[in-house]
Amino acid sequence: MAVTAWTLPAVSGAVGTGNSWNDHTLIKVKNDVGCEAVVDATSTTYLISQGYGWTSLIPAGASILGIEVRIRHQGTGASVKDSVIKLQTNGTLRGDSKASGTAWANGSWEDITYGGAADLWGNAATDLYAWIMGGATFGAAVRARWDAVGAGAALVDSHEMRVYYAPPAHYHRGQQQ
């Protein structure tokens, strides 16, 4: 098994209905300066990341074994929670949600990892391979919610992703043969 390094996206966006994120481009750099959205009775829009450059990191013909997404986030108050954490291609949500329902840290940044080395997020490995190797539109989608009366803020600093894969049989020491 091989694994890519944790990688930040080149592209970000926000899609869907809900409370808007103020500057989604901030998730492309891990620097504790996050984008923000109000959370209340209405969930946020989907904050999406894509453009991870996988085609230069994963050899052609590899078998995808698992995907991890690491989100650096925080909330104001103790009632900001995951609503949806999914993989996406060009804004279309794919597979199972990994939302935990656990409250985000109140006022301090935390890195939470979703998925794992053998977790395909409810997708077929062949579909994941096609989406990952098919270009810059594969990534993650995060939606936050407020789980109390009133309102607060959800802040996301970064989306990072890494892919676990088995190199093809003809792949040796970083070179295809």
What are the pLDDT digits (tens) for 27-64? Answer: 999 999 999 999 998 999 999 999 999 888 899 999 99
What are the pLDDT digits (tens) for 116-146? Answer: 999 999 999 999 999 998 778 999 999 999 9
Q: How many CB atoms lie within 10 A of CB 138?
A: 25
Its CATH architecture, for the domain 2-156, is Sandwich (2.60)
pTM above 0.75, yes or no: yes
Q: Which residues contact 1 (CB under 8 A, 6 or more apart)?
A: 65, 117, 164, 165, 166
Q: Which residues contact 36 (CB under 8 A, 6 or more apart)?
A: 21, 22, 153, 154, 155
pLDDT value of position 174 = 55
Residue 125: is it exposed, middle or buried by C-beta count within 10 angstroms (0-12/13-18/19+)? Answer: middle
Bridge partners, 64 (sequence order): 165
In this structure, the chain runs to a length of 177
Phi, psi angles (nearest 5°) of residue 139? -175, -145
Three-state SS at 163: strand
pLDDT category, 91, cuts 50, 70, 90?
A: confident
What are the pLDDT digits (tens) for 159-168? Answer: 999 999 999 9
